[in-house]
């Protein structure tokens, strides 16, 4: 658990990636992931999540900006730098004709000598009753995901990136995957970044959040701070004039007689307003509100107070 | 039974819909266990890894809960061994309960008169409780008994 550096596990600065001449998959992305945290990277399909992950592991070069992993440029791609990072790609691809044992042998050969803990992977798989002599293609979807995770964890990485790890899994396999992931996180003091478009189950898993929409960061920060600084206000139906009196409004929903607002509060802005009932928000409400924010009113990510706030 | 069999004395659970932050749920469950007597001084709590791996929750949440319990002198960490119950929940004096209950009833009547309904009242209570916990200088021990 001893941390050698205090550099952020992952640090992107004005990171951008353009495919072809016009399509920006990621733009002006500035964010920092503190070490030892579990970060959810949330956004709709096509938001740039996979692009961000692939830039972070140096799989491709950015069009602009920089990305560093533990202070080192991701593109440096030195064997030592790569050894610190684990990656589980979307749909956890495995060579389907390989047995699990073959895959572990491959892991051993492809990693630096001594940097692939095969006995650890075998122990984990034995606990899950996954037979080593079974071909990957004959394993269930959930088991394949577990094999991919066990292989990534066998590197004993300090940073583990997972691209939509549970999207294709049934609820039971999803829970089992998260159990193993969280257990491993506790054991090794891992920093985890996992992308997802399923928001509901993230609240118990993640303590840091990055919401990405159309290639840009909408909001980022510590989950607890974000929840503490947002409220759902419910009151009698309000007109534009009344709404202008309420600072920090992110979203407005009108019913026949009621209006509900999601607002961002801050120390100089009280959480309570006359005429409005304040309710706490959950992570799902908060994420959905940011996903639906109209584009023009977006604050620049670098000036966004949430991404600047530092955990006390 | 066997020594290994005695280890898992206590099992946490988590209610996603309760609105109570997960770490606080863990803290409350230990306190309830102490109050109801199924946790006793010397008992070992499951390790952070066990709790994270069983509930599929962020280990930092468990660490935070254990730290809170340690801060309240209810548990003590023994390096290399785990976290053990040491204290017991101090019983509230019977008179104090009654007095608090009377002032709460008064407050509730005021809230109803002002037009708040049950949901609004509990929302207000939850927010006030959260914000009290959020203030670092607040003298009140974070615990939140009575939320459940």
The interface predicted TM-score (ipTM) is 0.79
Task: Provide the 10 A C-beta neighbour count for residue B78.
Answer: 10
Give the closest-approach CA distance of B15 to chain A in angstroms. 10
How many Cβ pairs within 8 Å bridge chains A and B? 74
Q: B57 and A183 in contact by Cβ < 8 A?
A: no
Can you give the three-state secondary structure of chain A, one letter per residue?
Answer: CCCCCCCCCEEEEEEEEEECCCEEEEEEEEEEECCCCEEEEECCCCCCHHHHHHHHCCCCCCCEEEEEECCEEHHHCCHHHHHCEEEECCCCCCCCCCEHHHHHHHHHHHCCCCCCCHHHHHHHHHHCCCCCCCEHHHCCHHHHHHHHHHHHHHCCCCEEEEECCCCCCCHHHHHHHHHHHHHHHHHHCCEEEEEECCCCCCCCCCCEEEEEECCEEEEEEEHHHHHHCEEEEEEECCCHHHHHCCCCEEEEEECCCEEEEEEECECCECCCCCCCEEEECCHHHHHHHHHHCCHHHCCCHHHCHHHHCCCC
Is A123's Cβ below 8 Å from some Cβ in B? no
Q: A36 and B60 in contact by Cβ < 8 A?
A: yes
Q: Report the candidate in A38, A142, A151, A152 with the shortest Cα–Cα distance to residue A87.
A: A152
Q: B61 and A178 in contact by Cβ < 8 A?
A: no
Q: Which tokens is B15 given?
A: 């209610």
Burial class (CB in 10 A: 0-12, 13-18, 19+), A261: buried
Give the closest-approach CA distance of B25 to chain A in angstroms. 12
Rounded CA-CA distance A157/A57 in Å is: 12
A179, A182, A280: residue with CB nearest B127: A280
Q: Which tokens is A186 given?
A: 């506790």
Q: Which chain A residues are within 8 Å of B116, Cβ to Cβ?
A: 277
Is B92's Cβ below 8 Å from some Cβ in A? no
Q: Which chain B residues are within 8 Å of A37, Cβ to Cβ?
A: 60
CA atoms within 13 A on the CB side of A221: 25
Is A203's Cβ below 8 Å from some Cβ in B? yes
Burial class (CB in 10 A: 0-12, 13-18, 19+), B95: exposed
Give the closest-approach CA distance of A126 to chain B in angstroms. 16
Q: Which chain B residues are within 8 Å of A204, Cβ to Cβ?
A: 14, 16, 22, 55-58, 61
| Predicted model pTM | 0.78
Q: Do residues A132 and A168 make contact, with C-beta atoms less than 8 angstroms apart? A: no
pLDDT for B135 = 63
Please report the domains of chain A, with CATH numbers, ordered by start residue.
10-220 (3.40.50.300), 223-308 (3.30.70)
Q: Report the candidate in B57, B75, B79, B58 with the shortest Cα–Cα distance to residue B66.
A: B75
Q: Within its chain, how far is the Cα of A25 from the centroid?
A: 17
Give the closest-approach CA distance of A235 to chain B in angstroms. 11
Q: Report the candidate in A264, A304, A214, A298 with the shortest Cα–Cα distance to residue A31.
A: A304
Q: Which chain B residues are within 8 Å of A181, Cβ to Cβ?
A: 56
B14, B49, B55: residue with CB nearest A187: B49
Q: What is the mean pLDDT of each run of 10 residues along chain B (148 residues)?
A: 52 83 92 84 93 94 95 91 82 72 92 90 83 60 41
Note the CATH number of domain B4-85.
Answer: 1.10.10.10
Q: B62 and A180 in contact by Cβ < 8 A?
A: no
B22, B58, B127: residue with CB nearest A278: B127
pLDDT for A309 = 37
Is A175's Cβ below 8 Å from some Cβ in B? yes
Question: What residue ranges of chain A have pLDDT lower than 50?
Answer: 1-3, 296-312
Q: CA of A38: which chain B residue's CA is closest? A: B58
H or E segment and range at residue B67: helix B59-71
> Based on C-alpha coordinates, what's the Rg of chain A?
21
């Amino acid at each position: 658990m001893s941390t050698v550096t205090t550099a952020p596990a992952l640090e992107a600065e004005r990171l951008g990636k353009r495919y072809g001449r016009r399509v920006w998959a990621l733009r002006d992305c500035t964010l920092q992931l503190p070490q030892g945290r579990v970060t959810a990277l949330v956004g709709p399909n096509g938001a740039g999540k996979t692009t961000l992950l692939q830039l972070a592991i140096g799989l491709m070069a950015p069009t602009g900006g920089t990305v560093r992993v533990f202070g080192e440029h991701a593109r440096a791609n030195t064997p030592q730098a790569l050894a610190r990072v684990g990656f589980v790609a979307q749909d956890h691809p495995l060579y389907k004709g390989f047995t699990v044992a073959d895959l572990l042998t491959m892991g051993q050969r492809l990693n630096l000598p001594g940097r692939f803990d095969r006995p650890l992977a075998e122990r984990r798989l034995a606990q899950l009753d996954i037979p080593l002599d079974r071909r990957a293609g004959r394993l269930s979807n959930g088991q394949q995901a577990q094999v991919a995770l066990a292989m990534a964890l066998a590197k004993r990485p300090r940073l583990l990136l997972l691209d939509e790890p549970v999207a294709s899994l049934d609820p039971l396999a999803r829970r089992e995957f998260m159990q193993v992931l969280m257990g491993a996180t506790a054991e090794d003091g891992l920093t985890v970044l996992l992308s997802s478009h399923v928001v509901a189950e993230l609240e118990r898993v993640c303590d840091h959040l990055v919401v990405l929409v159309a290639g840009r960061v909408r909001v980022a920060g510590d989950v607890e701070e974000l929840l503490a600084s947002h409220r759902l206000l419910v009151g009698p139906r309000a007109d534009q004039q009344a709404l202008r009196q309420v600072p920090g409004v992110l979203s407005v929903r009108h019913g026949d007689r009621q209006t509900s607002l999601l607002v961002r509060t801050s120390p100089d802005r009280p959480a309570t307003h006359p005429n409005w009932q304040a309710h706490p928000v959950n992570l799902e409400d908060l994420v959905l509100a940011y996903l639906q924010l109209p584009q023009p009113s977006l604050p620049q990510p670098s000036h966004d107070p949430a991404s600047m706030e530092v955990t006390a | 039974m066997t020594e290994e069999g005695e280890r898992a004395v206590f099992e946490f659970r988590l209610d996603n819909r309760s609105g109570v932050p997960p770490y606080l749920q863990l803290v409350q469950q230990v306190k309830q266990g102490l109050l109801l007597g199924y946790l006793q001084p010397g008992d070992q709590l499951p390790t952070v890894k066990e709790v994270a791996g069983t509930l599929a929750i962020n280990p930092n949440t468990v660490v935070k809960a254990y730290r809170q319990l340690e801060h309240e002198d209810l548990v003590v960490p023994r390096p290399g061994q785990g976290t053990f119950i040491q204290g017991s929940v101090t019983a509230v004096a019977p008179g104090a309960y009654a007095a608090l209950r009377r002032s709460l009833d008064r407050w509730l009547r005021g809230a109803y008169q002002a037009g708040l309904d049950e949901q609004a009242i509990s929302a207000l209570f939850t927010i006030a409780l959260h914000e009290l916990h959020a203030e670092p200088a607040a003298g009140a021990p974070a615990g939140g008994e009575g939320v459940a």
